[in-house]
Amino acid sequence: MHYKNITESGLAIAFSVCLLYLFSCTKASDPAPELKILNSSVVRSSSDSKITFQLVLGKPAAKIVSVDYILTDGTAIAPADYVSETGTISIPENQTQGSFDVVIKGNKLNTRQPNLQFTVSLSNPKNCTLNSSSATGTIITEDGTYLTTDNTGYSTPLSYPGYTLVWSDEFSGNSLDLKVWNQEIGNGSGGWGNNELEYYTNSLKNSFLSNGNLIIEARKETIGAFNYSSCRMTTQDKKIFRYGRIDIRAKLPVGNGIWPALWMLGSNISTAGWPACGEIDIMELIGKTPATVYGTLHWSNTADIHASKGANYALSSGDFSKQFHVFSIIWVQDNIQLFVDDQKYLEVPATELGVTNNPFNLNQFFIFNVAVGGNWPGSPDNTTEFPQRMFVDYVRVFQ
């Protein structure tokens, strides 16, 4: 009986020792936690700011975790865009997160340009392993409101013999004059009747003023069910005109699926409908033929059927994205003429309309837009670059 008790005690002790040994072996072979670093971004401001990088452990560590980091240039260049540095980040025991900041240099002009990027690289991990050894820092600059463009190209005067300048927008302010312009929102009915692919917004991403130009920008970005965004502006119910000379100086976007337009619609469209209201396409460009613009009149004939007459103007060299050109209309009762750089390429007298009530003897309003896709231009493809921008220097109405 006494012997048995000793034996049982000895076995219990031996078993306990084995358990402790197995536990210690398990602890010794327990892998170090994995450490990863997350990408980060920040919108650039006019003054210096910071971008924060987060480091995350897969599980808490029993010891202090540390890792070295170094910053390297990409499209963001130190010290102009950010302050380059090296350092060591520590995560206390039983914790799972750490972070560090990088100083981003401000830009007082708020320049619009492609987003800038730099890289954070990790090395020398202690008490951890690296799940990811690098991350990207993105300085968001694509929404800046300062943008320059080469101003070379054709221009027209501020006065003509026999005419008075009755209205103009030189786009010289800091923001769009909403007493004059509407910014339509959405995709309209069936892509504005053309199966267009963009979603129009009133965001500064898609329209803004800079350096004396109106800039309409089409982007490849997802908004709801749409993969592109852009802007469509009108003067409907705010500025309407009948007759005179109209000059619009603009530099145009090009590329497959891109469709900029400067045009007018009859101000009675809500009652007469289209095309009975009359449409004057002062300029349209189909991006796959970047050296050619089109001018067209649309109306409803006596049989209440859509009728139109148009022509095109082709540059002898280059394309319409290289320089500014002036798109003009000389509009009098019963006659409309269209011009590019003062070269007439279309004339439509009332006798060619075949209607009793000429819609082009009534008031019209302006529409400026950059469409993406649609029945006429087709869809963008892998050769189409984004963003695409139309620059409008001025619109002037002389009567």
**N-term to C-term CA, the chain:** 126
Amino acid at 20: L
Q: Do residues 391 and 399 touch, judged by C-beta distance below 8 A? A: no
CA distance 298 to 274: 9
> Beta 364-372 vs 240-241: how paired, if at all?
antiparallel
8 annotated active-site: no
C-alpha 266/C-alpha 260 separation (Å) is 20
CB-based contacts of 320: which residues, under 8 Å, 6+ apart?
251, 252, 254, 285, 290, 291, 293
In the structure, how many helices (H) and strands (E) does the chain have? 2, 27
Rounded CA-CA distance 100/87 in Å is 9
Return the CA Rg of the chain.
Answer: 33
The DSSP letter of residue 17 is H
The catalytically annotated residue of 196, 198, 217, 279 is: 279
Nearest CA-CA partner of 214 in 65, 52, 81, 324 = 324
Q: How far is 250 from 167, CA to CA, in rounded Å?
A: 17
Closest C-alpha among 140, 139, 137 to residue 54? 137
279 is catalytic: yes
Catalytic entry in 196, 198, 217, 284: 284
Q: Within 13 A of 87's CA, how many CA atoms are on the CB side? A: 11
Residues carrying an active site annotation: 279, 284
